[in-house]
């Protein structure tokens, strides 16, 4: 699946293409996609394919096409404080995006699920769960986006999503990343809270299902898709499948809550400082698309044949001049020395009159 938009040179370029094609339609979803670099979830040696609108699979590792994830994120309508269950969580790319989206401003932000939401994923393959945990740890330690958000860290478990224990809690938002047979539709619906939204591929349609009451539902087809079907559970010696327990909905401890509120207070202080100085919020740079030069053909007779001859129009010449100017500007910008990224939150934390060990805890033990 995929190929609906042009390939991008990098993550931002891909997102520009998805916006232009109307797959990404809201600022919240755009911010989530920009915060998480899709290429970081590819294996080394395959990153060149990351910014194409194509699905990717290597062994048990799989990523859907960007246009699919865009429609999924838009359809889920995630909000801070909600519980989210990702069935077939894979690399953790979608689960991580669900926790990183702008809520207020460039310096005061809350993840989609917020710090007090629930973010769970269940994945069939244990090696993929380990891969997802590694990628999550790398995001926390290395991503420039991490300190811009309050977030609810995803918790992943190994298991078949068709074997979830019957006494499991329900969720506000659910996404299933594999084809659901009609026989399993009601099973998926039971996991959803009243007022919740379930997005899943069923009968070759990506479908949004809203639970409007205890026994009432509203469904809407979003996009024609082709997904591999859910793997049927295997049975144990008793002839019954083993049940899978989802992560507990644990309350945060006092130490964790203190870290959240200290970081939030510092973000608010930074935001007030920036507003007082009149510093505008910096939006991601938008690339100028190079205009394609089109030719006007004239035709001349050569012997008995009618041969097309290209003829430059005045508009073509103007485009060529504009493209040259843009290329010169891009070259001049590239020659300027890059300013090192400034992490204002980290700077504030490191200036606090606290022991170094506590400062490290407040920064999530990040090195930058």
Dihedral angle over CA of 152, 154, 155, 156, nearest 10: 170
Q: How many CB atoms lie within 10 A of CB 105?
A: 14
Write phi, then psi, for 274 (nearest 5 degrees): -65, -40
Q: How many CA atoms lie within 13 A of 196 on its CB side?
A: 22
Q: The tokens 């009618």 sit on which residue?
A: 306
pTM (two decimals): 0.80
Q: Mark whether 219 is an active-site residue.
A: no
Which stretches within 92-223 are classed as H helix?
Answer: 93-97, 126-142, 185-190
Of the residues 6, 64, 126, 145, only one is catalytic, namely 64
The CATH number for 11-252, chosen from 3.40.50.150, 3.30.470.20, 3.40.630.30, 3.40.50.300, is: 3.40.50.150
pLDDT tens for each residue of the chain, 368 residues long? 666 778 889 999 999 999 999 999 999 899 999 999 999 999 999 998 999 999 999 999 999 999 999 999 999 999 888 999 999 999 999 999 987 643 333 334 444 455 678 999 999 999 999 999 999 999 999 988 888 877 788 999 999 999 998 889 999 999 999 999 999 999 999 999 999 999 999 999 999 999 999 999 999 999 999 999 999 998 765 566 678 999 888 788 999 999 999 999 999 999 899 888 887 655 445 554 544 444 445 555 555 565 555 555 566 666 667 667 766 766 665 555 555 567 899 999 999 999 999 999 999 999 87
Q: Where do the structural domains in the chain lie, given as residue ranges?
A: 11-252, 296-335
């Amino acid at each position: 699946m995929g190929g609906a938009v042009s390939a991008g040179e990098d993550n931002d370029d891909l997102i520009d293409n998805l916006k232009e094609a109307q797959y990404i339609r809201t600022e919240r979803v755009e911010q989530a996609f920009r915060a998480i670099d899709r290429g970081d979830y590819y294996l080394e040696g395959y990153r060149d394919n990351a910014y194409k609108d194509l699905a990717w699979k290597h062994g048990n590792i799989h990523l859907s096409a960007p246009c699919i994830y865009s429609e999924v994120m838009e359809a889920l309508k995630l909000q801070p404080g909600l519980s989210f269950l990702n069935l077939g969580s894979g690399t953790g790319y979608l689960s991580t995006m669900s926790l990183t989206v702008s809520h207020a401003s460039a310096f005061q932000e809350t993840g989609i699920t917020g710090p007090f939401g629930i973010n769970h994923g269940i994945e069939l393959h244990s090696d993929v769960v380990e891969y997802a945990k590694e990628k999550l740890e790398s995001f926390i330690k290395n991503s420039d986006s991490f300190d811009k958000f309050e977030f609810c860290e995803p918790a992943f478990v190994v298991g078949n999503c068709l074997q979830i224990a019957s006494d499991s809690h329900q969720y506000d938002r659910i996404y299933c990343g594999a084809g659901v047979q009609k026989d399993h539709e009601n099973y998926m619906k039971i996991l959803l809270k009243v007022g919740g939204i379930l997005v899943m591929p069923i009968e070759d349609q990506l479908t949004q299902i809203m639970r409007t009451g205890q026994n009432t539902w509203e469904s809407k087809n979003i996009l024609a898709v082709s997904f591999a079907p859910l793997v049927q559970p295997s049975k144990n010696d008793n002839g019954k499948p083993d049940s899978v327990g989802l992560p507990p909905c644990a309350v945060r401890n006092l130490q964790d809550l203190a870290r959240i509120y200290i970081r939030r207070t510092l973000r608010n202080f930074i935001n007030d400082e920036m507003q007082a100085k009149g510093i505008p919020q910096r939006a991601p740079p938008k690339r100028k698309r190079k205009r394609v030069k089109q030719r006007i053909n004239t035709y001349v007779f050569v012997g008995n044949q009618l041969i097309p001859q290209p003829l430059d129009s005045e508009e073509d010449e103007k485009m060529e001049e504009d493209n040259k100017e843009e290329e010169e500007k891009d070259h001049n910008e590239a020659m300027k020395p890059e300013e090192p990224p400034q992490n204002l939150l980290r700077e504030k934390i490191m200036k606090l009159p606290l022991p170094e060990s506590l400062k490290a805890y407040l920064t999530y033990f990040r090195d930058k």
